[in-house]
Amino acid sequence: MSQQRIHRYILREISVPTMMSLLIFTFVVFLGRIPRLTEMIISKGVPVLDIIALFALLMPTFLSVTVPLSFLLGILLAFGRLSADSEYIALKASGISLYSMVKPVAFLALFFTLLTATITLLIEPASKSALRAKIFEIASTSLNVGVKPGVFNDDIPGIVLYAQGVDERQGIMRDIFISDERNDSAPTTITAREGLFISNPDSLMLTLRLRNGEIHRQPGSADQDTYQTISFNNYDINLDFSEQLSQGQRSRSRGELAWTELHQAIQETAPGKLRYRLEAELHERIVIAFAPLVLILIGIPLGLQSQRSGKGAGFALALVVFLVYYVLLSFAGTLADKGILPAALILWLPNLVFLAGGSFFLYRAAGERPVQIHLQLWSKLSGLLVRRPGGQQ
């Protein structure tokens, strides 16, 4: 059997479980978002097409994690099956070394590295910006749609809105009553003949424009016994959604920057906390892109041994290895964000650790001296991960 045919066979053995794992992992990650999106459809009246658009915009963020994880699981399952069915021994007996088997895996790892790099460097920042704008569009639209005549609406934090009538075509509300308690020291009551929502996607501001009304305000201070009444022809209430959409996480805003914008922001930012975070974002995108190349060195030798721990060992082992990798990466990212260590050094450390450890494992496996220290502990751990309720396997 020629080496090219063997290489194609190995590629097929890895590709099939990798693609299946990618579909499963991505679906599992989506499951966590389904209840919230379903609530948006039922209670907010958000169109199904908008929900599908949200799913599509969320996809790149999930794929940057699930692609390396699926590839690692594909390697573990493929080489675990080759070892369990004694095909690995047959290939070795025919003169095919382990290093020769690594060549097609490295080719596939290069493909997934380029795919992950395209996602993290190009697609994911653009999708985050589009997702932010789409959520604001849905939020502003749902407020217009969600205001029902004769019903108190509290979708806006700190504000209760009541409209006696609503013109659905023009979006104009009539005979409006508003209780504004965003400022606890001076709660405000506003009445107006009519009003409408005006959205500004660039600044993520939603303006409630009121016409012909009055503002009633009584300061909450104990030493003030006053009551204010102000009449107006036009009055705007600005609702800032930027903090809510980013969920208070500054990393969301830096994650939206394109590659060139991120470089420019770093150059224009003085040394300090913000610059540390921008540099961490820059290096983290590259580090994650190289994950598939690094993980093959761990996956191949562990896959050759995982069949000894049962059928579920490959799946559980992939989760454990990937969890360790991302814990190290998250810890390194925290140190880089705070400027404790340079981002160019600390964020590459997990890859270097896995590269060194994987090279050692691969060298031992190629020399028929696999590392055995993990097997006893791993057998117990994988048994816990794959055991069903009632003690059945």
pLDDT of residue 240: 61
Going by their DSSP bridges, the two strands 188-200 and 172-180 should be labelled as: antiparallel
pLDDT in tens, 205-219: 778 889 999 988 876
Amino acid at 233: N
pLDDT of residue 287: 92
Compute CA 11 distance to the chain's CA centroid, rounded to the nearest angstrom: 29
pLDDT of residue 369: 72
The model carries a pTM of 0.71
Q: How far apart are CA 112 and CA 126, in angstroms?
A: 20
Compute CA 269 distance to the chain's CA centroid, rounded to the nearest angstrom: 26
pLDDT of residue 289: 92
Q: How far apart are CA 238 and CA 208, in angstroms?
A: 6
CB 297 within 8 A of CB 358: yes
pLDDT of residue 141: 66
Q: What is the DSSP letter of 204?
A: T
CB 327 within 8 A of CB 319: no
Buried b (16+ CB within 10 A) or exposed e, 101-135: bbebbeebbeebbebbbebbbebbbebbbebbebb
Contacts of 46 (CB under 8 A, 6+ apart): 40, 138, 141, 142
Domain ranges for the chain: 3-139+248-386, 148-244
Q: What is the CA radius of gyration of the chain?
A: 28
Place of tokens 């059928």: 311
pLDDT of residue 389: 45
Q: Is 275 exposed, middle or buried (0-12, 13-18, 19+ CB in 10 A)?
A: middle
pLDDT of residue 247: 43
Q: How far apart are CA 109 and CA 68, in angstroms?
A: 9
Amino acid at 374: H
CA distances from 184 to 217, 221, 222 (A): 11, 10, 13
Q: How far apart are CA 310 and CA 375, in angstroms?
A: 12
- 122: its two tokens: 């190009």
CB count within 10 Å of CB 202 equals 8
Contacts of 162 (CB under 8 A, 6+ apart): 150, 151, 152, 153, 176, 177, 178
Can you list the residues of the chain whose pLDDT is less than 50?
Answer: 244-252, 310, 373-378, 381-382, 385-386, 388-393
DSSP 162-176: EEEEEETTTTEEEEE
Q: How far apart are CA 181 and CA 104, in angstroms?
A: 64
> What 3-state class would DSSP assign to 372?
coil
Phi, psi of 73 (to 5 degrees): -65, -40
> Alpha helix locations (H) across the chain?
3-31, 34-43, 48-84, 87-93, 98-118, 124-146, 242-246, 250-255, 259-268, 273-289, 291-306, 313-337, 343-346, 349-366, 375-386
pLDDT of residue 348: 92
Amino acid at 201: P
